[in-house]
Chain A
Amino acid sequence: MMATALQTQTVDLVARFPNSVAADARPGYSGFIVKKENLVEVATALRDEFGFDLLTAVTGVDYLAENKMEVVYHAYKTTGGPGLAFKVQVDRTDPVEVPSLINIWPGVDFQEREAWDLLGIKFTGHPDLRRILMWEGYDGHPLRKDWKEPFFEEEAKPFKSRWPDGQHTFAENKNPFRDNLNFPKDFDPEKYEVVKEDDLYASLERHSRKNEEGSLSTDHIVVNMGPHHPSTHGVLRVAVTLDGETIVGLKPVMGYLHRNHDKIGERNTYLQIIPYTDRLDYFNSMSNNFGYVTTVEKLMKIPVAERAEYIRVIMAELSRIQNHLIFIGMLMNDLGTMYTPSLYAFEERELILDIFEAVAGARMMCNYFRFGGVVRDVPESVMQKIKDLVFDRLPAKTDEMERFLNENEILVARLKGIHVLNAEDAVKYSVTGPVLRAAGVPYDLRRADPYSIYDRFDFDVAVRTNGDMMDNYLIRFDEIRQSLRILEQAIRQIPQGPINSQKPQYQVRVPAGEAYGRVESPKGELAFYVVSNGKPNPYRYHVRPASFVNLTALESMCVGMKIADFVALLAMLDIVMGELDR
């Protein structure tokens, strides 16, 4: 069963709210349009009456031509099944205000801040609406359609300056400031007053736990961990307030790797975006490609070649095993083992990357998937290598890693009993992926909302009940074993045949409409929201990353814990900055 476009017939929202909800009737679109004044009411009903307790994505879209800004919400049920999209449209004249849904689904926190930062949509009722990816004091809202970046050349690629009169110039020479810069008119840098980070520290102060009444009054220290820190898994900065060694307040600051993926995506053609998706979650380029290609195939309504489906599943599951091996290695590094477990894990990863290199051409940035299939077939010699790994080596090595680590007394003392998240909080904060499943909610996209051919395979959804760090760690081993199960079946069942249902072409025709495609990446739900208006490049291209939304739970997870546990808790969330900051 191919996952179809968002189905709405299960919920008759128009009948329930006849005066405030209308079905979205634009060609190629689905879902409901809700009036701004009734948004909170409708959202509460969706969560309580209809059972949509997991709100996965909040996206802003700028419809410049119709002078409207739209916010699109995608909601799902943790019991599985297709989801619901509902939108709210407001006029584009400043101030653009939409009620915040943070009291209904606290997981929308960071995503609403991102919509404010990049599109200028104010969410009334949000307790802490600051910029999240750019810095305070930045001029403008970058994703607006009338905002041009400093190195702007043309609205869409390919650029005319490259051919046939393509004399090479550096882009810096075309910009009046001789660099990737754009300042307002009559700007004087010497008279400029720097916008300090008072907002950040005031918000940290407001959200920190205070000393109890009557107890000894002590000072709290504010410590900035990162962005350059060996344990923050990339360039993430976390401002914590400490009472001795206990964390009483925490605010993450991100955007240190914001590479403008959404804006560049709007300039690229659909095919050209595929290598950029490789660089989102740079550990699993195969999963990212998978998510993007599935989304555009929904829009294009084309089938996928049979053999290619199996190859895609094989590559995605190998990617998952490789990611979990890195997770185990990096977690051990953070806990203080001086690199031996990570070296063992990386050895297995190198063998898997050899397969990617033989098939796709590169170890990490595979660029392997195309619309309708994959780009190249898997030759017999490489298939033999995959069989060797899946049937012989990887099960034995996973057993060895478990023997090596799981009963280690120091590991158990550091991980067992340290609470991460319980099921209710995890769903509230829109956490997906292994962290959600370790808390006891058996929500796995490959089973709940199957895409590609996952419904043909016999595998279990790895779930653990305690929700503590030990469970979060052990569930990765469970998932490796389930991936090996899927791989065995896929290798046995893979048919011969063509590897792409379409001919190779670099200009694809995508009809107008919207699509929301989601895959179970090893870190959680990775989803893409693409809006097309029939042109060769997308009108709006948004990535819903797993790490970004999972990080919303960090504050509630860490407040009350010791700072040494904080390092391990951050490792548990398994974040990647390429995905988080895009």
Chain B
Amino acid sequence: MYGKGILKGLSVTWKRFWDTYIDDIAWLVRGKKRYNTVEGVAHRSSKNTRGIFTVQYPEEKLITPEEFRYVPFLVYDEGAEGKKEVRCTSCGICAKVCPPQCIWIVRTNDPTTGRPVPVPTNFYIDMDICMNCGFCAEYCPFDAIKMDHDFDIASYDRNVYDLEKLLKPASYYAGIRPENYTREEEARKAKEAAKAAKAEASAG
């Protein structure tokens, strides 16, 4: 029969059309909200998704995985009396490893001792060149620069970020990347414990 192929195709569209309503009704009957809830978004991103696939940004946001990388930011530890302890020592590895060379670091020397100050005097990243590769975060030996999750950074001007704009607290970092944060904190504590043990052994 001529037209059988078209009818077969229409049967697929027909089924998908009704799926949208059936799923909505099934969720309603179970008393759960299908839209504007985290559970709903999780269902629509899983292998069982059926029917409406839309995740309505900005009211609903997709679940961001921990490894998601957008643009970099600098981490500071919150010290006593709200002092910002910037982790970056301006070693320059991130600037060397950045493929499009979009990181500029100003390192100054202490005028009295002549040795470099382990805090950057200024730190620029041209976000309009950054290719979100994550090398800077991958190769930083001090866990000072990390990749952010925030993608709502469109602006009406060019985006060149300086040190002030890049600094974000370590609590923010722990919030977006909990597993990485706990792993790094454990490694840091282990290192400090080993150092303390060594100092004790050599002093005693």
Contacts and interface: CB of A to CB of B under 8 A. Distances in A.
Interface of A: 157-159, 161-168, 268, 271-276, 340, 344, 347, 350-351, 354, 357-362, 365, 367, 375-376, 385, 388-389, 392-393, 400, 403-412, 504, 506
A86 to B, nearest CB: 34
B105 A162 contact: yes
Contact of B101 (A157, A367, A408): A157
B69 A272 contact: no
Contact of A167 (B8, B47, B106): B106
A162 B92 CA distance: 8
Contacts of B131: 275, 365
A506 B68 contact: no
A275 B133 contact: yes
B8 A272 contact: no
B95 A163 contact: yes
A408 B106 contact: no
Contacts of A166: 95, 103-106, 124
B135 A271 contact: yes
A168 B124 contact: yes
B68 A357 contact: yes
Contacts of B3: 409
Contact of A158 (B101, B124, B162): B101
Contacts of B2: 409
B142 interface: no
Contact of B65 (A357, A389, A407, A408): A357
A168 B96 contact: no
Given A158-B95, A276-B99, A358-B65, 12 more contacts: A157-B96, A162-B104, A166-B124, A167-B106, A351-B47, A361-B68, A375-B138, A376-B67, A403-B11, A407-B4, A409-B2, A410-B6
A410 B9 CA distance: 11
B11 to A, nearest CB: 8
Contacts of A274: 133
A332 B38 CA distance: 34
Contacts of B104: 161-163, 166-168
B145 to A, nearest CB: 13
B5 interface: yes
A524 to B, nearest CB: 26
Contacts of A408: 5-6, 8-9
Given A168-B124, A367-B133, A407 B8 contact: yes
B67 A506 contact: no
| Majority DSSP secondary structure for residues of B touching A | mixed
Interface in B1-22: 2-6, 8-9, 11-13, 16
B178 interface: no
A490 to B, nearest CB: 18
6 contacts: A163-B105, A164-B90, A271-B135, A340-B13, A404-B8, A410-B6
Residue in A164, A347, A367 with the greatest tally of chain B CB atoms within 10 Å: A164
A163 B102 CA distance: 11
A358 B67 contact: yes
Interface string B171-183: 0000000000000
Given A166-B106, A506-B96, A159 B8 contact: no
Interface residues of B, number: 48
Contacts of B122: 167
B74 to A, nearest CB: 14
Contacts of B86: none
A273 B97 CA distance: 11
A268 B99 contact: yes
A385 B42 CA distance: 12
B87 interface: no
Nearest to B92: A163
Contacts of B46: 388
Nearest to A400: B12
Contact of B47 (A159, A162, A367, A385): A385
Nearest to B126: A168
B144 interface: no
A358 B106 CA distance: 34
A393 B6 contact: no
A132 to B, nearest CB: 26
B133 A162 contact: no
A393 B105 contact: no
B67 A361 contact: yes
A366 to B, nearest CB: 10
B138 A275 contact: no
B95 A362 contact: no
B99 A162 contact: no
A400 B11 CA distance: 10
Contacts of A393: 47
Contact of B105 (A164, A347, A376): A164
Contacts of B193: none
A159 B96 CA distance: 7
A388 to B, nearest CB: 4
